[in-house]
Structure 1
Amino acid sequence: MTQGSSSHYQVLRIAVTATEKEIKVAYRKAARLSHPDQGGDAAAFRRVTLAYETLMDPKRRSAYDRAYAMGTSEDDDGAHFDAPAAGSHAASTVRRPNTPRNTAGDPAVFIPPFESANQEGYVPLIPFELARQQVHGMPRKRGIFGAEARIQREMRTVQLITRQILPAIPAARLINGLQSPADNSHIDHAVLSGYRLAIIGSMLLPKGAYAWNGNTLNHGGRSIAPPQLAHVVRRMQDIFPELNVTGWTVIHSPDGNLHEPVIDHHRRSRSSLDMVQVVNAAGLARGLKQFLSSGPAPNTVNVPVLARLLRGMH
């Protein structure tokens, strides 16, 4: 384990959900092994000490976890997070000739497998019980004004994904309430399945016909600004180069009709089409299921990515 190749959690060999007591126990063990007086390496001992000091301070750990989720580091020693290289896990799931292809409806497979925990010194990034959950977090009250309306529309999206997407794709993981890595805003929802990630924003608008041209949403001659997701999608794509990241804005109707309002898609640039889509609830259920199911190894739970996303929850 060389400097700059591992996170503080990996240096201490603990999960990202480790408690204060677990951090202390891990530090004492790692310090004994790496201390120069015990024949250890001075540089390794400094990394162990830095990891302990950072994770034991609630404020420093919180800042570090945000950096962990974003794949960056704020430490002076230049250590960075070891995001898997593009295709590194995918290579292990390449289909051999005459073997059935994995489909989205197959039981979830964890990469790396939790069976590796039997190896000496191995600690999974997150506990198995956490990784097997399909829903993480709930919409939270942010600020005072408009919180009730925001929670209402976000809860509709949670219910839609929970009922329409998750049962059909066992490996899909819904994470609610992420802090945006692009600015100080928040991401309503993220859905991870295999090597595909969907960033989702929610709106609640009156019934009627709306037109989306790739930049603005128009209704009755009036322009309505949907959630600005393009810059968030680009940032998440930079953070997770091994994934295919897209953005979705789902518009709910007041009466809960999944097919309302009607969204007309006018001709627009391909880049806008690929990056963010504006749809009603029925369109999200249909489009998101197709997007996640058509990716490579859609029955895979990418544990390192999931762990980083969970550390980015506000």
Structure 2
Amino acid sequence: MTEGSSSHYEVLRVAVTATEREIKVAYRKAARASHPDHGGDAAAFRQVTLAYETLIDPRRRAAYDRSYAGGPRHRTPAGADEAHFDAPAAGSHASATIHRPGTPRNTSGDAPIYVPPFDVPGSVPLIPLDLASQQIHGMPRKRGIFGAEARIQREMRTVQLIDRQVLPAIPAARLINGLLSPADNSHIDHALLSGYRLALIGSMLLPKGAYAWDGNTLNHGGRSIAPPQLAPVVRRMQDIFPELNVTGWTVVHSPDGNLHEPVIDHHRRARGASDMVQVVNAAGLSRGLKQFLAGGPAPNTVNLPVLARLLRGMH
């Protein structure tokens, strides 16, 4: 088998005989090093991700190996250049073009691009196109007995807020409600995925007033209020999806529906306080999520491998 200058194996720095475990280990290392959120290069990160998605799938790897053996111009199973990361899926409204140096990058407001694309001949989609096209998956539902109605009410407010304020601005964003937590036996209210960024969101409903968040506790009138414990879940999800930038958000709704209430002051965090979760009101969540998701690499991408795994984790 002939080695080329930019093969998937060279990108991940593994031998052509690498096992699945060796590929996973190499990918985690390469993804962390090349991720734009950690000072890496977006183009290199896309190359790393494409290499992993190809080599970790036995059928795609076999097809790639056949073309890889044919010459130095390595091609994907579809016969397209490796830059097919920027090619849209069938049914999307984006033009079927490959990004060239010097042309504008795709933005969060552009039509969704599916990775891997749905129009690869002979491939089996990870999930159906109609399911991947939905922006909202699942809805809050009753779990347990105590406080169920109040929980559903605050979770529904979060769903409506994201549906009205965030999803129209980022067409590739996908909201998944009611995930089982991989860190414990609890659940995750909401997960919002766009490109290579994932926001985990918990919901609260508190009276109007001024609150102070110090990174560990939410204080109001001398009383401490414990927000949802999202930090362990964020850490676990980051381990599961090393290619993503995972953050946690707790949104505090007011009883009257005012998006700017309650007021939450962010105090300087104490040593050892968690910086993985932000506590905000509804207006702060809408603004923060749009900035977070739009600022990531390829924000108009629907990451099908991640989306499929999240959907399997729903209640």
Unaligned ranges ≥5, structure 1: 1-77
2:102 counterpart of 1:98: yes
- Offset of residue 145 of structure 1: 1.1
CA 1:158 to 1:284, structure 2 compared with 1: closer, same or farther past 3 Å?
same
1:182-261 alignment, distance < 5 Å: 182-261=183-262
Q: Paired residue for 1:132?
A: 133
**TM-score normalised by L of structure 2:** 0.70
- Offset of residue 125 of structure 1: 1.0
Unaligned ranges ≥5, structure 2: 1-19, 32-44, 52-82, 87-98
Q: Paired residue for 2:96?
A: none
Q: Paired residue for 1:170?
A: 171
Q: Which amino acid aligns with 2:139?
A: M
**Secondary structure in structure 1 of the residue aligned to 2:176:** strand
- Offset of residue 104 of structure 1: 0.2
- Offset of residue 140 of structure 1: 1.2
Work out which of the residue numbers 116, 123, 127 in structure 2 matches 1:112: 116
Larger RCO, structures 1/2 (Cα 8 Å, 6+ apart): 1
Asked whether the equivalents of residues 188 and 200 of structure 2 are also in contact (C-alpha less than 8 Å), the reply is yes
Summarize deviations over 1:83-124 as a string: whole Å, max 9, x none.
9763333684586421111100000000000001x22xx211
Q: Paired residue for 1:307?
A: 308
CA 1:217 to 1:80, structure 2 compared with 1: closer, same or farther past 3 Å?
farther
Q: Paired residue for 1:89?
A: 49
Moved more, 290-299 or 270-279: 270-279
Q: Which amino acid aligns with 1:115?
A: D
Asked whether the equivalents of residues 194 and 295 of structure 1 are also in contact (C-alpha less than 8 Å), the reply is yes
Q: Which amino acid aligns with 1:210?
A: Y
Q: In structure 2, how many angstroms separate the alpha carbons of the residues matched to 1:213 and 1:255?
A: 25
Q: Paired residue for 2:71?
A: none
Asked whether the equivalents of residues 231 and 274 of structure 2 are also in contact (C-alpha less than 8 Å), the reply is no
Sequence identity of aligned pairs in percent?
79
Asked whether the equivalents of residues 247 and 277 of structure 1 are also in contact (C-alpha less than 8 Å), the reply is yes
Asked whether the equivalents of residues 89 and 111 of structure 1 are also in contact (C-alpha less than 8 Å), the reply is no
Summarize deviations over 1:125-155 as a string: whole Å, max 9, x none.
1001100100000001000110000000000
Summarize deviations over 1:15-40 as a string: whole Å, max 9, x none.
xxxxxxxxxxxxxxxxxxxxxxxxxx
- Offset of residue 164 of structure 1: 0.4
Q: In structure 1, how many angstroms separate the alpha carbons of the residues matched to 2:297 and 2:222?
A: 42
Q: In structure 1, how many angstroms separate the alpha carbons of the residues matched to 2:172 and 2:273?
A: 28
**TM-score normalised by L of structure 1:** 0.70
Asked whether the equivalents of residues 49 and 243 of structure 2 are also in contact (C-alpha less than 8 Å), the reply is no
CA 1:251 to 1:221, structure 2 compared with 1: closer, same or farther past 3 Å?
same
Asked whether the equivalents of residues 212 and 265 of structure 2 are also in contact (C-alpha less than 8 Å), the reply is yes
Note the aligned Cα RMSD (angstroms). Answer: 2.3
Q: In structure 1, how many angstroms separate the alpha carbons of the residues matched to 2:219 and 2:247?
A: 22
